[in-house]
Amino acid sequence: MIKRPFFSLGKPRLRYPAIGVPGGELKQLLLPGKVTLLVRGCDVGAIRLKAGAQVLTGQRLQLTEDPQVHVMSTVTGTVTGVWEYMGYLNQSYAAISINVSGQDRVDESVVSALGEPTYETACTYLSDLPGKSDFLSLLRSDPPVNTVVVNCMDQDLLVSTRGHVVMTDPEGLVSGIEVLKKVAKVGRVVVAVPSELVSVLSGTGVDMLEVSSGYPSGLCGMIAQDILGGAYDPGKGFEQMGLGFISAEAVISLGGLRGGGGLPIDKVVTVIGKDGSVDLVKVRMGTSVGDVLEAVGISTFHGDRVVMGGPMAGKTVYTDDMPILADTDAIMVQDQTEVVLAEDVQCVNCGECVRVCPVNVPVNMLVRVLSSGLYEEASDMYDLHCCIECGLCDYVCVARIPIFHHIMLGKHECGRINDVEGSNG
């Protein structure tokens, strides 16, 4: 039960990077030799797709008897294997490996069907989009959302993916919003933009919400508070409050479908090197992290850390075989000498995490109950679900407690408890 105001008066301490292309032009990477497609929550045993199957670029791969379980092939080639992949917090995926034939042969039936997308064709072909890994859930939200926020704000420090795609293709964003209104059947679309992009989108007729450049103002929880005000309930999901979020990159990819302009199979990724250098690359979804790093000249060695995401809320991966997913906005590599290790120690009660928290969560108490496995108590008494996952508490923790990971585990375990209780009536 939330007993106090959700948002504090504290101001963010850090700032997002300036909008623009760091380090030169966007680099288009060549097709890899192999891609791996991950499909969340799909029972591998029920998959009908078998090794040896030939697939085309853009082809709708019907995975099971359930028509809702499908994925778009991002390459032309041969399926070489299907297996179960366990991701972060034991999230189960079906992994589909495809050897690339060398050049694209596009499934023209899909291109034709998506030339002027409708709700029906979007549900049939677009399970996800670059920047939106669960687009189908937005379309089929029950109850339906009445306001969709197109978020042009990057979700972590050092990341420039969304800012770049909007800066370079504002017309595509406007066109994509028109398509979004048609396929998602929403009444209002709000575009959350940093101050640098207001002039770029002015005169386009889009409904803009200017967002502060101070981190973490661009995170969905902060923007939801700005839009809903006192109606915001951190204990509910956004869609339960009639609010949906979609990244600017996903919307631009929708606009690109018009007239058969292009399939949503490429992803823009910010690559952050060991020395802090930044490259922006455009890569086929399903390409391995290792192939991306090799293409930009970054080598990794034993002890280095590879992070999917940015420095504040990114998640470490144990292998560079991890594929680029629809929601992979960034890859960061840390040299082993720069890695700050977390420690299994008790909170020293310095209060830094409480002072820096933008949503006024009592982090010092929350981490105590979470580390003891008291997940329901963390939710009921210490505002676990108020956390917007900005990572600022980890950033300032002098004891190096992995607070962010405790919070993610706590939310995951609360979800499991609720699922069990729901299944038991």
Is the same domain home to 376 and 316? no
Backbone angles phi, psi at 378, to 5 degrees: -60, -40
pLDDT in tens, 59-108: 999 999 888 889 999 999 999 999 999 888 888 899 999 999 988 999 99
pLDDT in tens, 257-289: 987 788 999 999 999 999 999 999 999 999 999
Range of the domain at 278: 266-334
The residue-averaged pLDDT of 197-201 equals 91
Is the same domain home to 377 and 320? no
Count CA atoms closer than 13 A to 316's CA, side-chain side: 12
pLDDT reported for residue 237: 84
Residue 45 domain flag: yes
pLDDT in tens, 2-21: 444 444 444 445 888 766 54
pLDDT reported for residue 24: 55
User: In 14-134, which ranges are continuous DSSP H helix?
Assistant: 108-113, 119-125
The CATH number linked to 283 is: 3.10.20.90
Q: Round to whole Å and give the CA distance between 242 and 147.
A: 6
pLDDT reported for residue 8: 45
Q: Round to whole Å and give the CA distance between 329 and 159.
A: 7
Looking at 103, 123, 149, which one is the last position of a domain?
A: 103
pLDDT in tens, 349-379: 999 999 999 999 999 999 999 999 999 999 9
If one counts the domains in the chain, the total is 3
Q: Which amino acid is at 332?
A: M
pLDDT reported for residue 54: 97
Is the same domain home to 37 and 99? yes
Highest mean predicted confidence (pLDDT) among 65-69, 185-189, 210-214, 306-310: 306-310
Residue 366 domain flag: yes
Residue 384 domain flag: yes
Is the same domain home to 386 and 417? yes
Looking at 277, 306, 334, which one is the last position of a domain?
A: 334
Residue 389 domain flag: yes
pLDDT-based confidence at 231, cuts 50/70/90?
Answer: confident
Is the same domain home to 366 and 396? yes
The residue-averaged pLDDT of 297-303 equals 94
Looking at 41, 76, 103, which one is the last position of a domain?
A: 103
Pairing outcome for strands 266-272 and 278-284: antiparallel
pLDDT-based confidence at 422, cuts 50/70/90?
Answer: low
Residue 286: strand, helix, or coil: coil
| Residues constituting the chain | 425
pLDDT reported for residue 11: 45
Is the same domain home to 273 and 300? yes
Residue 377 domain flag: yes
- Cβ–Cβ under 8 Å, residues 211 and 163: no
Residue 75 domain flag: yes
- The pTM assigned to this predicted structure is 0.92
Residue 53 domain flag: yes
Residue 209: strand, helix, or coil: strand
Is the same domain home to 329 and 357? no
Tokens of 115: 């030339």
Q: What percent of the chain has pLDDT over 90?
A: 72
Is the same domain home to 59 and 96? yes
Residue 310 domain flag: yes
Is the same domain home to 313 and 356? no
The residue-averaged pLDDT of 387-403 equals 93
